[in-house]
Chains A and B, each alone.
Chain A
Amino acid sequence: MSKVRDQVKALAQKRAVLMKGGGDKAIVKQHDRGKWSARERLDYFFDPGTFIEIDLFSQHIGRELGMAEAVVPADGIIIGYGKIDGRPVAAFAEDFTCMGGTFGERHGRKMNKIIEFGMRNNMPVVGLNDSGGARLQENMGPLSEYGKLFYLNSIASGVVPQIAVLLGPVAGGQAYSPGLNDFLIMARNAAVTFIAGPPLVKAVTGEDIDAQSLGGPDVHSTVSGTCHVVCEDDKDALDCTRDLLSYLPSSNRDRPPVVDTGDDPARRCEGVYDIIPDERDTAYDMHDLIREIVDSGQFFEIHRDYARSMITCFARLGGSSVGIYANNPQFVGGAIDVPAAEKAARFIRFCDAFNIPVLSLVDTPAYLIGSTQEKLGIIYKGAKLLHAISEATVPQITVYIGKAYAGGYLAMGSKDFRIDYVFAWPTASIALVGPKGTVNVIYGKELAAVTDKAEREKLRAKKEQEFVDTYMNIYYPASLQHIDDIIDPADTRQILIRAYESLKNKKVELPWRKHGNIPL
Chain B
Amino acid sequence: MSKSKERVEHLVEEIGRLQKGGGDKAIARQHEAGKKTARERLGMLFDNGTFQETGLFAQHRCVDFGMAGRDLPADGVVNGSGAVEGRLVFASSQDFTVVAGTAAEVHCKKFCQTIDDGMRYGAPVVLFQDSGGARIQEGVDSLNGYGEIFYRNSIASGVVPQIAVIAGPCAGGAVYSPALCDFIVMVRGTAQMFITGPKVIKDVMGEEVSMQDLGGAEVQTSRSGVAHFLAEDEEEAVAIVRKLLSYLPSNNLSDPPRIAMPSVTARPDARLNEIVPDDPRTPLDMLQIIEAVVDPGSLLQVSERFARNFITGFARLGGRSVGILANQPLDKAGCLDIDASDKGARHIRFLNAFNIPIVNFVDVPGFLPGVAQEHQGIIRHGAKMLHAYSCATVPKITLIVKKAYGGSYLAMCPKSQGADRVFAWPTAEIAVMGAEMAVPLIFGKEIGQAQDPDRKRSELMAEYHEKFYSPYRAAERLQVDEVIVPAETRKHLIRALDTIKSKRETTPARKNSNIPL
A residues whose Cβ falls under 8 Å from a Cβ of B? 64-65, 119, 134, 136-137, 139-148, 150-151, 153-159, 172-173, 175-176, 178-180, 182, 193-196, 200-201, 203-205, 207, 209, 214-215, 219-220, 223-226, 252, 342, 345-346, 349-350, 352-353, 367, 369-371, 373-380, 382-384, 386-387, 390-391, 393, 406-407, 409-410, 414-418, 430-433, 437-438, 441-442, 471, 476-477, 480, 482, 510-520
Residues of A within 8 A of B378 (CB): 195
Residues of B within 8 A of A195 (CB): 367, 369, 373-374, 378-379, 382, 407
Residues of A within 8 A of B148 (CB): 416
In chain B, residues 27-48, which have Cβ atoms closer than 8 Å to a Cβ of chain A? Answer: none
Question: B320-341 CB contact bits vs A (8 Å, 1 = yes)?
Answer: 0000000000000000000000
Query: Does B70 touch A at the CB level, under 8 Å?
Result: no
Q: A136-B442, A379-B193 are in contact. Are A155 and B200 (CB under 8 A)?
A: no
Q: Can you name 25 A-B residue pairings with CB atoms under 8 Å?
A: A154-B386, A155-B391, A157-B510, A180-B516, A205-B371, A224-B377, A374-B214, A375-B219, A387-B154, A390-B151, A410-B146, A416-B144, A416-B147, A418-B151, A432-B143, A438-B136, A442-B136, A480-B141, A511-B156, A513-B158, A515-B353, A515-B513, A517-B157, A517-B353, A519-B180
Shortest CB distance A433–B (Å):
6
Please name the residue on chain A nearest to B431 by beta carbon.
Answer: A139
Shortest CB distance B115–A (Å):
12
Please name the residue on chain B nearest to A149 by beta carbon.
Answer: B416
Residues of A within 8 A of B433 (CB): 136
Residues of B within 8 A of A515 (CB): 158, 349, 352-353, 391, 512-513
Please name the residue on chain B nearest to A416 by beta carbon.
Answer: B147
Indicate if the CB atoms of B353 and A371 lie closer than 8 Å: no
- Considering the chains assembled together, what is the distance between the CA atoms of A207 and B252 in angstroms? 47
Instruction: Name the 8 nearest CB pairs between A and B, nearest first.
Output: A147-B416, A173-B407, A416-B147, A390-B154, A196-B369, A154-B390, A383-B179, A179-B383
Residues of B within 8 A of A482 (CB): 140, 144
Question: B171-204 CB contact bits vs A (8 Å, 1 = yes)?
Answer: 0110110111010000000000111100011001
Shortest CB distance B134–A (Å):
5
- Considering the chains assembled together, what is the distance between the CA atoms of A209 and B173 in angstroms? 41
Residues of B within 8 A of A146 (CB): 407, 410, 416
Shortest CB distance A227–B (Å):
9
Say what secondary structure dominates the interface of chain B. Answer: helix
Indicate if the CB atoms of B157 and A518 lie closer than 8 Å: yes
Indicate if the CB atoms of A375 and B407 lie closer than 8 Å: no
Residue among B209, B430, B508 facing the most chain A CB atoms (10 A cut-off) = B508
Indicate if the CB atoms of A390 and B517 lie closer than 8 Å: no
Residue among A180, A204, A384, A520 facing the most chain B CB atoms (10 A cut-off) = A520
Indicate if the CB atoms of A370 and B140 lie closer than 8 Å: no
Residues of A within 8 A of B263 (CB): none
Indicate if the CB atoms of B374 and A214 lie closer than 8 Å: yes
Query: Does B406 touch A at the CB level, under 8 Å?
Result: yes
Contact of A379 among B157, B176, B204, B467 (CB under 8 A): B176
Q: A194-B374, A417-B150, A517-B349 are in contact. List 20 more A-B contacts (CB 8 A).
A: A140-B473, A150-B416, A153-B386, A155-B507, A158-B514, A172-B406, A200-B369, A205-B371, A214-B371, A349-B515, A352-B512, A370-B207, A386-B176, A390-B155, A415-B144, A432-B138, A511-B156, A513-B252, A515-B349, A517-B158
Residues of A within 8 A of B513 (CB): 154-155, 157-158, 353, 515
- Considering the chains assembled together, what is the distance between the CA atoms of A406 and B141 in angstroms? 11
Residues of B within 8 A of A119 (CB): 508
Query: Does B215 touch A at the CB level, under 8 Å?
Result: yes
Query: Does B107 touch A at the CB level, under 8 Å?
Result: no
- Considering the chains assembled together, what is the distance between the CA atoms of A64 and B224 in angstroms? 47
Shortest CB distance A120–B (Å):
9
Q: A194-B374, A369-B195 are in contact. Are A140 and B158 (CB under 8 A)?
A: no
Indicate if the CB atoms of A471 and B508 lie closer than 8 Å: no
Contact of A520 among B209, B414, B515 (CB under 8 A): B515
Please name the residue on chain B nearest to A201 by beta carbon.
Answer: B369
Shortest CB distance B155–A (Å):
6
Question: B119-152 CB contact bits vs A (8 Å, 1 = yes)?
Answer: 1000000000000001011111111101110110
- Considering the chains assembled together, what is the distance between the CA atoms of A147 and B414 in angstroms? 8
Question: B200-221 CB contact bits vs A (8 Å, 1 = yes)?
Answer: 1100110101000111000110
Indicate if the CB atoms of B195 and A378 lie closer than 8 Å: yes
Residues of A within 8 A of B159 (CB): 511-513
Residues of A within 8 A of B140 (CB): 430-432, 471, 476-477, 480, 482
Query: Does B479 touch A at the CB level, under 8 Å?
Result: yes
Residues of B within 8 A of A175 (CB): 379
Indicate if the CB atoms of B342 and A391 lie closer than 8 Å: no
Indicate if the CB atoms of A371 and B214 lie closer than 8 Å: yes
- Considering the chains assembled together, what is the distance between the CA atoms of A393 and B512 in angstroms? 11
Contact of A223 among B194, B375, B416, B477 (CB under 8 A): B375
Shortest CB distance B468–A (Å):
5
Residues of A within 8 A of B511 (CB): 158, 252, 352-353, 393
- Considering the chains assembled together, what is the distance between the CA atoms of A373 and B353 in angstroms? 29
Residues of B within 8 A of A252 (CB): 509-511
Query: Does B418 touch A at the CB level, under 8 Å?
Result: yes
Shortest CB distance B402–A (Å):
17
Shortest CB distance A285–B (Å):
24
- Considering the chains assembled together, what is the distance between the CA atoms of A418 and B384 in angstroms? 28
Indicate if the CB atoms of A346 and B517 lie closer than 8 Å: yes
Residues of B within 8 A of A377 (CB): 224-226
- Considering the chains assembled together, what is the distance between the CA atoms of A511 and B253 in angstroms? 11
Shortest CB distance B30–A (Å):
21
Residues of B within 8 A of A431 (CB): 139-140
- Considering the chains assembled together, what is the distance between the CA atoms of A352 and B205 in angstroms? 37
Residues of A within 8 A of B509 (CB): 159, 252
Please name the residue on chain B nearest to A341 by beta carbon.
Answer: B517
Residues of A within 8 A of B175 (CB): 379
Contact of A201 among B226, B252, B370 (CB under 8 A): B370
Indicate if the CB atoms of B379 and A226 lie closer than 8 Å: yes
Indicate if the CB atoms of B195 and A371 lie closer than 8 Å: no
- Considering the chains assembled together, what is the distance between the CA atoms of A151 and B516 in angstroms? 14
Contact of B150 among A215, A390, A437 (CB under 8 A): A390
Residues of B within 8 A of A225 (CB): 377, 380
- Considering the chains assembled together, what is the distance between the CA atoms of A65 and B407 in angstroms? 21
Residues of B within 8 A of A342 (CB): 517
Indicate if the CB atoms of A148 and B442 lie closer than 8 Å: no
- Considering the chains assembled together, what is the distance between the CA atoms of A373 and B226 in angstroms? 12
Residues of A within 8 A of B441 (CB): 136
Indicate if the CB atoms of A224 and B379 lie closer than 8 Å: yes
Shortest CB distance A412–B (Å):
11
Indicate if the CB atoms of B512 and A158 lie closer than 8 Å: yes
Query: Does B1 touch A at the CB level, under 8 Å?
Result: no
Residue among A172, A371, A518 facing the most chain B CB atoms (10 A cut-off) = A371
Contact of B515 among A157, A414, A511 (CB under 8 A): A157
Residues of B within 8 A of A352 (CB): 511-512
Contact of A369 among B143, B196, B366, B377 (CB under 8 A): B196
Residues of B within 8 A of A393 (CB): 511
Query: Does B58 touch A at the CB level, under 8 Å?
Result: no
Residues of A within 8 A of B215 (CB): 374
